[in-house]
Chain A
Amino acid sequence: MEESAKPGLRIREGDCAVLKRDEVFKAVLVLRRRKVIFEKQWFYLDNAIGHIYGTTFEVSSGGSLQPKKKMEETTTETKEAGTDNRNIVDDGKSQKLTHDDIKALKDKGIKGQEIVQQLIENSTTFRGKTEFAQDKYIKKKKKKYEAVITIVKPSTRILSTMYYAREPGKINHLRYDTLAQMLTLGNIRAGNKMIVMETCAGLVLGAIMERMGGYGSVIQMYPGGGPVRAATSCFGFPESFFNTLYEFPLSKVDSLVSGTFSSETLPSEPEYNVPAEEESNGSLDEKQTLIQETEEESSTEAVMESNETEEQETMDLAAEDTEYKGSKEKGNKENIREKQRKQQERRRKLVETAALLEEKNADGLIVASRFHPTPLLLSLLEFVAPSRPFVVYCQYKEPLLECYTKLREKGGVINLKLSETWLRNYQVLPDRSHPKLMMSGGGGYLLSGITVTAEKVQSDASSLEAQKIEEPTSKKRKLQELHC
């Protein structure tokens, strides 16, 4: 079979890859001799390097990965089975193998498939189960003992599903289908000039960048000292994608809108706005902590962010320290010059970004943050051209109700829509198809609309607008329904 040398096809050292086992995902950095823990298993990724993404592995003794060949499922001849469960008593004693027996099998290096077979043979109730119940039993045991890991390439689909399952607190409980709606409603595509304001660990930014394919430009607005882009680095974008990624501090937005912007005072924690390779260093740390962390409340999130910047700072300082190991004197002078150069570069970039914003011709605005959406929208919409879509995500509905009202008052927007999506998974098996038991309770809310030329005149225009959107007549309602 031809082995294509296409970039991105094979797992390389330094890649951000996603480990997958059934429905569970976890992002890891592919590094040699680095122990990885995933689903109660410890292993090294060394053997995975060079394989094609999508390869499935088994963890063998010693923690090394062995590629698993797709084996033919042993044909199940019509086995003995029961008709229903009226005689099956669950006394916890139907499995004759003890915990220790199973452990002994595992220690002997017996393959998972064999262990499952042993469990079936030593179960007193197995023969009495219905075929469906036997099927379910085998699936359950396989899931537990046939530990198979697939290494997949990151994408918006995979990362948004992973974050929602593992760390929803970091992404304001933005469910992946809601993110999908945002990307489409916002008409995110190659060539756009997008303004993004998100506090979702950079996941929304990454999703937007993926859909833009490196074409066009993105200006990321950020609170505090600098943008968090931990998730963005997981996507594995080529360097060139970051050439048209800009950032701008929220703390300067007011001055920009009012025309009093000055680049003299930069936000604190200057180490944050750094070129790509240092950024990836910081996010390396981020990713390791990503592996350990559990869900957090938004209050601790703020603490988290400042911790991250400190981490990054110590990392960068350490890098700078090792760089200038030469004589102390020389080291200090160069250090200072280096710092000055960096500051000037940052200032230059800030002015450049401010100019981009001041053109007021952005092709769209996406907001998904832990902040109240209203002030963000009212100010950031100033930078968007007319007849362009905008989408705001909020974990809660009420702030969007207020946002809607304020936008109506302000004018300059039409087609406002407040919505949420409802997602349901299905089990599809012959004679056993039904929706799955567990459903996501909620995935957040979206407010979307389209900008129009802002009006100077106002009371009659806004009242006319209000007239047009008030309680629709019954005829219009019918039209609404048809249009889904």
Chain B
Amino acid sequence: MSFVEYGDTIKDGDTAIVFLGHESMFPVKVQHGSKTQTKYGVIRHSTDLIGKRYGSKVTCSKGGWVFILHPTPELWTMNLPHRTQILYSTDISLITMMLELKPGSIVCESGTGSGSLSHAIIRTVAPTGHLYTVEFHQQRAEKAKEEFQEHKVEHLVTVKNQDVCKNGFGVSNVADAVFLDIPSPWEAIGHAKSALKIEGGRICSFSPCIEQVQRTCLAMEEHGFTEINTLEILLRVYNVRTISLQIPDLGKAAEDNSSTGFDSSSQSNQGSLYGILQQGAAQFKSGVPLKEMVGHTGYLTFATKSLF
């Protein structure tokens, strides 16, 4: 297995995802002799995991079961240990497409943070591209390096521990795309421009506050970037539920013969509209929004560097 290539069976040293149920999963480092506790019991790596096919069901000691999944950057984003606030797949998807990332792309990123976007970029630019990622916090830079090694993608990424606003990305005129998720992106626009290839490239800045966006757009314009465009993307999730609504009792009309509206005897008229399961209720399937959803993560500003 690898974060940039699928494997069929679980091997010693793999990072696998243990799936317990709806929105409940966690990553696990597969090792001979190790044991992992879950609420359904113990999983013994040597007997339960190693050699099994990814996607298999594993029964735990208490009798309950889980699924073992192959890691993907998306699953990693949902389960990684947070060292900073991270970017989620919704924003990551748009960033990837708008920066025109693909196999072979050279990308510069700062800050590395918890590596959520980094893993997604590495996956997209493999096997011939490269990610240069800059993180000014020493421990976070170290941890990121460790994780990339554990996930066997270190050949596709270079981690630098420095301040991108002062010292840039450490490379010149090599990048197809630059991504900034830092407190003062306008201070790094100049460095971003010099990191991008001479013939041009794409840039993206992610900022939670509109004031940051304003300063950044101005800086981009001053540095000659074109096609400056700010947008935001939100994810709306729906739960699929079978809903049963009661049919109100509007009473019976005085005369015997009349039967109108929701009178139970004439429900067959309404029955064609909904599947009437039991007396007095109409059932239907609905996509129900969550009670609360993530609204604003940040504004995404994209721009193009070109020779003209």
Contact = CB atoms under 8 A, between A and B. Distances in A.
B21 A386 contact: no
Interface string B71-112: 011100010000000001110111011101011100000000
A157 B201 CA distance: 13
Interface residues of A, dominant DSSP:
mixed
Interface string B229-258: 111111111111100000000000000000
Given A189-B124, A425-B231, A426-B231, A177 B72 contact: no
Contact of A477 (B53, B214, B291): B291
A469 interface: yes
A92 interface: no
Interface residues of A, number: 80
Interface in A460-484: 464, 468-469, 471-472, 476-477, 479-481, 483-484
Interface residues of B, dominant DSSP:
mixed
Contacts of A400: 287
A185 B210 CA distance: 29
Contact of B8 (A68, A150, A187, A385): A385
B89 A185 contact: yes
Contacts of A160: 97
Interface string A52-71: 10111000000000001010
Nearest to A213: B103
A448 B48 CA distance: 28
Given A185-B89, A476-B23, A484-B297, A177 B308 contact: no
Contacts of A433: 210, 213-214
A419 interface: yes
B6 interface: yes
B102 A213 contact: yes
B166 interface: no
B280 interface: no
A389 B72 contact: yes
B56 interface: yes
A401 B199 contact: no
Given A192-B6, A425-B231, A433-B210, A387 B294 contact: no
B285 to A, nearest CB: 5
Contact of A180 (B57, B65, B94): B94
B299 interface: yes
5 contacts: A70-B308, A416-B240, A452-B55, A468-B22, A484-B294
Interchain residue pairs A-B with the least CB separation, the first 4: A386-B55, A213-B103, A387-B55, A468-B21
Interface of A: 4, 9, 52, 54-56, 68, 70, 150, 155-157, 160, 176-177, 179-181, 183-185, 187, 189-192, 210-215, 361, 363, 385-389, 397-398, 400-402, 404-405, 414-428, 430, 433, 450-453, 455, 464, 468-469, 471-472, 476-477, 479-481, 483-484
Interface of B: 4-6, 8, 19-24, 53-57, 65, 67-70, 72-74, 78, 88-90, 92-94, 96-98, 100, 102-104, 120, 123-124, 126-128, 199-200, 210, 213-214, 217-218, 228-241, 285-287, 290-294, 297, 299, 301, 304, 306-308
